[in-house]
Structure 1
Amino acid sequence: MANSSGAEARRLHDADIEATAWRRWGPYLSDRQWGGVREDYSPGGDAWSYLTHDHARSRAYRWGEDGIAGFSDDKQQVCLALAMWNGNDPILKERYFGLTNSEGNHGEDVKEYWFHVDGTPTHSYMKMVYKYPQREFPYNDLVATNAGRDRRSFEYELLDTGIFGEDRYFDIAIEYAKDGPEDILARITVANRGPDPAMLRLLPTVWFRNTWSWDEGAPRPILREQDGAVKLEHPELGERWWTVIGDHPLIFTENETNNERLFGGTNRTPYVKDAFDRYVVQGEKEAVNPEKSGTKAAADIALEVPAGGETIIRVMISEEPRRPGEEAFDAIFEARRSEADQFYADILHPDLREAERKITRQAVAGLLWSKQYYEYDVERWLAEHGQDTLGGSGIRNGEWYHLSASDVFSMPDTWEYPWFAAWDLGFQAVALATVDLGFAKNQIDLLLSRRYQHPNGQIPAYEWNFGDVNPPVHAWATYLIYELDKARNGRADHAWLERTFHKLAKNFMWWVNRKDVDGRNIFQGGFLGLDNIGVFDRSAPLPTGGHLDQADGTAWMALYAQTMLSIALELSATDPVYLEQAQTYFEHFAWISVAVNHAAAGEGMWDEEDGFFYDLLRMPDGSTRRLKVRSMVGLLPLAAATVYQPRLIENRPELVKGVLEFAERHPIVREMIEPGLAPGPHGERLLALFEKTRLRRILARLLDENEFLGPYGIRSVSKHHAEHPFEFPVGDRTYGVTYQPAESDSGMFGGNSNWRGPVWFPVNALMIRALLNLYVGYGDEFTVECPTGSGHQMTLFEVAREISDRLTRTFVPDENGNRPCHGGQAIFASEHWKDHILFAEYFHGDNGAGLGAAHQTGWTGLVAVFPNLFAGLTGRELLDNGMAGVLRREPEGRTS
């Protein structure tokens, strides 16, 4: 994506260079705070059951807040969101509803429909749409029906209940616009899509996160009515004014737990967190504070919306009391929306088709809406569990007492995954770097900061178990973000790269010391984010005893070594001391390459008969067996293919000499890496875990439509296993893997994630990266059949573009308006749904339907990168300019 010089670009510049607080306010409120680890104070760690959806309206949260279309400051001190009631629901709609892990046949599934429509990186303009039914929301039906279905059945979704029949629902569009860093305007447009007039109670809400109930004597902020508005007084944020334009009654309560309702206890005050639910739904007028003060306030707006009509409500929070007229209010929105249009016009390539342009913009919007404030002081959390000794407690995250989080993160999504996940964050940072380099760099910095990275070098995985192991993609993300930054701004941020390199080096050595059981340059790592892809639970003791040598774990480390070599070479341009480290990382990669390909006595992961990489099971008696599952595990060695440009080599004769001497000393190394020692078509050097012959064999399977190449991307398990399941008997039990294009029937890791056939965007992105690097290394002369058996030859550049096109096609509507990602649901092609896209966690391997978390734009947001990268790009341009040159492209295809 190219440079932008408009108003939004200036705001980004001012935020990064001038420290103007344009990012202070944003959509940092979670979609779900209940049912999570941080709020779990149960003896057994049953987070989903400890604080339920039913409890959420009445219990003050400890570590965060949630709400519909929420906005807050970057410490979540003041929160803004929307509540509503259709006159039929049993409770006030203040937060989205979904199932817990044990309630559904696939678990952890939200049962609502909302769409992230637009957004800018500084959140100067944001828009989303929530579809609120007019009939009674079927809470009990959703739970009961899903409970009656097994893992082989589809989930029972909100659409399946028929509640949207006859279009009896409201489209509630929520827009935010900034009139300065601290003045936030909200415009709520309620459209009645049904055939009859419909009533709606709308409650724009403002409240303080409860930071006072946990510490005796902690200062308590206050909201009070003044001159028809709400005055906010906060000990840290100071004064603010919250105003609803028009004459609407204001109601007040406290953001404190209703102990009486939940636990039969005593309340400090009669005005508690669930007061608005009781006031609106139950008609309890005494539930709200008649003194018009508290820590939570709302405007109670009763609407009668005509059939096909709409009503607009305008709200704002500002540093000074303001009450602009409707025309002036709306003019600010029009200005911000126009600036958003200009921002995307500047950064999107003009060759993008209109459908791709809309997909890209909504994918970016999803990434931007999925930012969230995240607080978790683990030492304090452990102490509140009665854990006095640091570490080794047996309590969740007991060895991570140093972790102290109080930051805005890019989340996978903010309902099913309202917590950061380490490898997700690497991919999200890359996608976000296309629009906001400053925030992308910040995300890498956070994970590697002393408050997060373990003193031993490990990067925290995710809050359910920080000590689990996610793939180490952070060096790759760091170097790509650095290259993007350098290309876009014409200057290299060596200081950031150097600072990050040293922290990554610490993590690299943690991997070397902890995840190479036998010291043979073959790595393990456990499930490595791939959940149930394996024959066994790879994070648990094996039923056979022994351990697994993992093809994916080893491939990740090969890519890690390659990338650290790239970074060291880049840093050596200004400091020759990094040449020694470059040599070290080269040697790490060389020995990994030897170990992966070692064929003696069946020791290697490469299987010559099948032409594929497999995990190697090491039995307690010393024997080995390859687990011949054709899966993403065996494709990931393809990802460890990196090109080094001549400029990184030619001016470093000491390194060239050291590499050649190392190869001469170790003939087995020279045999493995010799292809990478010879210059490519334009003087490049290519390091990979395979040579051309093996590459052709891997690609023959990758590009076979009866194996990995699906109509919408690369599948995570070969379709070959649909008719030929892999089975492994242990005692009286048989373990196995079959091709399952939709949901898995395995209960591993809760059974709510499936790598046994569907398409996942992050690993597809790494396949595309590898193919582009291999193309630069081998040039136009190297072609393969794509698809396998078609007789059609393609260069590797053309193969990469083909995979990108298939991934993008997941979201492109056909002539009838149906998008594959929506799984054939006709309503998504109808008038008021057709322009809204759901970016799911993963996708059906055969038909492209979205599966898993429905709003996980997260790493699926990578779809914002692919079409724009390939728009107007030719293989010749890539060969002539390399990837760095492509990153510097202006929209017309010129290089700057």
Structure 2
Amino acid sequence: MTATTAGPPAPPGTGASGTRTGRRAALRAAASRVLLANWTGTSTVPSHTLYPHQWSWDSAFIAVGLSRLSPRRAQRELETLLGAQWDDGRIPHIVFNPAVPLDAYFPSPDFWRSSTAGATAGAPPDIETSGIVQPPVHALAAWLVHESDPETSGRRGFLERVYPRLTAWHRYLHTNRDLGGAGLASVLHPWEPGMDNSPCWDRPLERVDPAPAASFRRADLTHGDAADRPTDLDYGRYVRLATDYRERGYADTDSNADVDTGTDVGTRAPHGFVVEDPGFNAFLIVSEHALAAIALTLGQEPRPHRERARALTTALVERLWHPEAGLFLCRDLRTGTPIEEKSVAGLLPLLVPDLPDDVVEALLRTASGEHFGLGSTTALAPSYDLRGRSFDSSRYWRGPAWFNINWAVERGLRQHGALARADDLRHAILSSAGASGFAEYVDPRTGRARGTTDFSWTAAVVLDLLARTEEPGEGGDR
């Protein structure tokens, strides 16, 4: 299939004809209805059926879209999430709604037991959460929410409230999670980088003995097609890793053990899965730049954030850039070796403003080349190598295109001057999101909806992109 630049279709019931302005207005109205329907009063669920709680990086993307509807609600979204932050600085990947039945989602609060198992790490005693984290998009989201309405943000003291929490979150990642010792943050579970069952994790997960199938119940299969979801074997390994982390009190290192030498991760990090992920660290770098902007706005010193962003960028390139692949690759810290699978996470460093020119040029070639086909064989960037041995156009993170990731790629393209390509991708996101009923993800070649529909971050990035096409210097909707 050749990528198309057809205009976004009107949502069902509105009619496909009409002016470009009318189509855009209909798409905006439909996206707004999704976010309004998924709002709980204090935050937004990704999906009432499949994901009925608050998710960390979902809320960051959702807040960016909500700011185009209600800056105050967008602020509330982030403040609700940050209200569940642990004393050690981590922002948990799920904040559980106590009104939702335990059997509606697994792993449920009684699995994570955060208020008891995480007490030493400073888990809130009165809010149940998970114990792992997700990509640090939050400072970027907070800055974009502020920029959407600086007057309301300033009047409400939004940045003053979130800045200390966001700096504590980054401090946690820079210290507790620098398990490779090179300055990059590490992830301890496949759910943490957000791309849950990417083929990148297949090799590291082979070391993990799965939890017995009888020890857990997969609520996701009640609302999702098994062909779209991780396998039972993968899920058993996810459960084992989470159980082991919980039993260690969610400690990232073992402070009583000697530091090992000769490998990336010493015996102070007794985890079966430890990976440096380029997408996770790219979001951290961009969010450090956002913290610098926030600090400057608050009359505080931005230099520490800028210095950390520079140091992270240097480490990212030295550690994870592979010129022969034309891509950033994940690094397995248990073996000290790169993971050779090509994931869209390797394109996300396009978000980073200070990459070397040769790296940017190579990433742009890779994005449009045979492995991702962006703008040629695919309209949206797939989550995994089109030519990879494990490519699957329908299974979760093993090939489908995700709207939040393509939103990030669009920002990266635009930042590095690939404006026509950014405009094409923006147009494809809007078209595919509307045509798919705001799907969770889509087949990257056909645009067929996969996963659930009326998905919050899909609607959110649509609202942001529609708003940005109307802002000076951002390109137009063709």
Displacement of 1:713 in angstroms is: 1.4
Offset of 1:774 from its aligned partner? 2.6
Q: 2:428 aligns with which of 802, 806, 811?
A: 806
Q: 1:870 to 1:711 in 2, by over 3 A?
A: farther
Q: 1:159-201 deviations in whole A, cap 9, x for unaligned?
A: xxxxxxxxxxxxxxxxxxxxxxxxxxxxxxxxxxxxxxxxxxx
Greater share of strand: 1
Q: What residue in structure 1 maps to residue 121 of structure 2?
A: none
Give the deviation of 1:491 after TM superposition: 7.8
Residue 440 (1) aligns with residue 74 (2): yes
Contact 2:403 2:457 in 1 (8 A): no
Tell me, in whole angstroms, the C-alpha distance in 2 between the residues paired with 1:855 and 1:541.
Answer: 35
Higher relative contact order (CA 8 A, sep 6+): 2
Equivalent in the alignment of 1:611: 326
Q: Distance in 2 between matches of 1:595 and 1:441?
A: 32
Q: In structure 2, the residue corresponding to 1:714 is in which secondary structure? A: coil
- Separation (CA, whole Å) in 2 of partners of 1:445 and 1:567: 16
**Matched residue of 1:469: which SS?**
coil
1:763, distance to aligned residue in structure 2 (A):
1.2
Q: Which amino acid aligns with 1:870?
A: T
Question: Which residue of 2 is the match for residue 691 of structure 1?
Answer: 356
- What is the aligned partner in structure 2 of residue 429 from structure 1? 63
- The structure 2 residue matched to 1:467, chosen from 131, 136, 144, is 131
Deviation at 1:556, TM superposition (A): 2.4
User: Is residue 869 of structure 1 aligned with residue 450 of structure 2?
Assistant: no
Partner of 1:365: 33
* 1:549 and 2:295 are equivalent in the alignment: no
How many percent identity over aligned positions?
A: 22
| Aligned residue identity for 1:717 | Y
**Is contact 1:352-1:867 (8 Å) kept?**
no
Contact 1:761 1:860 in 2 (8 A): no
Residues 711 and 353 from structure 1, CA distance in 2 versus in 1: closer, same or farther, beyond 3 angstroms?
farther
Helix, strand or coil at the partner of 1:763: helix
Paired with 1:361 and 1:475, the residues of 2 have a C-alpha distance of 27
1:429–1:351 distance in 2 versus 1, CA, 3 Å: farther
Over 3 Å counting, the alpha-carbon distance change for 1:498 and 1:708 in structure 2 is: farther
The answer to whether the 8 A contact 2:32-2:459 is kept is: no
RMSD: 3.0
Q: Distance in 1 between matches of 2:59 and 2:415?
A: 23
1:479 is matched with: 143
- What's 1:457 paired with? 89
1:521 aligns with 183
1:412 to 17, 40, 46: 46
**Aligned counterpart, 1:536:** 201
Amino acid of the residue matched to residue 740 of structure 1?
D
Paired residues of 1:422 and 1:447 also in contact (CA < 8 A): yes
Following TM superposition, by how much is the alpha carbon of 1:716 offset from its aligned partner in structure 2, in angstroms? 1.0
Deviation, structure 1 residue 741: 1.3
Structure 2 residue 282 is the aligned partner of structure 1 residue 562: no
Matches within 5 A, 1:253-652: 352-372=20-40, 408-449=42-83, 452-462=84-94, 463=96, 464=107, 465=112, 466-486=130-150, 489=151, 492-493=154-155, 495-525=157-187, 526-527=189-190, 528-536=193-201, 542=207, 547-572=274-299, 578-579=300-301, 582-598=302-318, 604-619=319-334, 624-641=336-353
1:632–1:717 contact (8 Å) kept in structure 2:
yes
Please give the residue correspondences for 1:168-247 in structure 2 after superposition, counting only pairs within 5 Å. none
Superposed displacement of residue 811, structure 1: 4.9
**Number of the residue aligned with 1:340:** none
The answer on whether the counterparts of 1:616 and 1:625 sit within 8 Å (CA) in structure 2 is yes
Alpha-carbon separation, structure 2, partners of 1:716 and 1:612: 14
Deviations 1:347-402 (A, max 9, x none): xxx984433321221011111011125xxxxxxxxxxxxxxxxxxxxxxxxxxxxx
Q: For 2:410 and 2:69, locate their aligned partners in 1 and report how far apart those are by CA, in whole Å.
A: 21
Runs of at least 5 residues in structure 2 that lack an aligned partner in the other structure? 1-9, 97-106, 113-129, 209-270
Change (3 A) 1:550 1:863: same
Alignment-mate amino acid for residue 409 of structure 1: S
Cα displacement (A) at 1:499: 1.7
What residue identity is the alignment partner of 2:146? Y
User: Any idea what SS the aligned residue of 1:409 has?
Assistant: coil
How has the CA–CA distance of structure 1 residues 372 and 517 changed in structure 2, closer, same or farther, with 3 Å as cutoff?
same
In 1, Cα distance between the equivalents of 2:305 and 2:85? 21
Give 1:493 deviation, angstroms. 4.5
Partner amino acid for 1:507?
A: W
Question: Any idea what the Cα deviations from partners look like across 1:840-869, whole Å, max 9, x if unmatched?
Answer: 111111100111112323444322232342
Larger Rg: 1
Q: Look up the SS of the partner of 2:341 in the other structure.
A: coil
For residues 543-599 of structure 1, give each alpha carbon's deviation from its aligned partner in whole angstroms, at most 9, with x where no partner exists: 596732222232222122221112112222xxxxx22xx22112211221222222x
- Partners of 2:134 and 2:204 in 1: how far apart? 11
* Length, aligned pairs only: 365
- Given that residues 204 and 273 in structure 2 are in contact (C-alpha distance below 8 angstroms), is that contact kept between their aligned partners in structure 1? no
In structure 2, distance between residues paired with 1:583 and 1:435: 33
Question: Does the aligned pair in 1 maintain the 2:198–2:398 contact within 8 Å?
Answer: yes
State the AA in 2 paired with 1:477. Answer: A
Contact 2:282–2:352 at 8 Å: present in 1 too?
A: yes
- Aligned pair 1:718/2:430, yes or no? no
535 and 770 in structure 1: CA distance in 2 versus 1, 3 angstrom threshold:
closer
* Rounded Cα–Cα distance in structure 2 between residues aligned with 1:541 and 1:473: 29
For residues 310-366 of structure 1, give each alpha carbon's deviation from its aligned partner in whole angstroms, at most 9, with x where no partner exists.
xxxxxxxxxxxxxxxxxxxxxxxxxxxxxxxxxxxxxxxx98443332122101111
Distance 1:541 1:566, change over 3 A: farther
Amino acid of the structure 2 residue aligned with 1:800: A
Q: Distance in 2 between matches of 1:639 and 1:416?
A: 29
- Residue type of the partner of 1:591? A
More helix by share: 2
Q: 1:365 to 1:705 in 2, by over 3 A?
A: farther
On the 8 A contact 1:371/1:410 being kept in 2, the answer is yes
- Aligned-partner Cα distance in 1 for 2:456–2:332: 35
Report the 3-state secondary structure (helix = DSSP H, G, I; strand = E; otherwise coil) of the residue aligned with 1:535.
helix
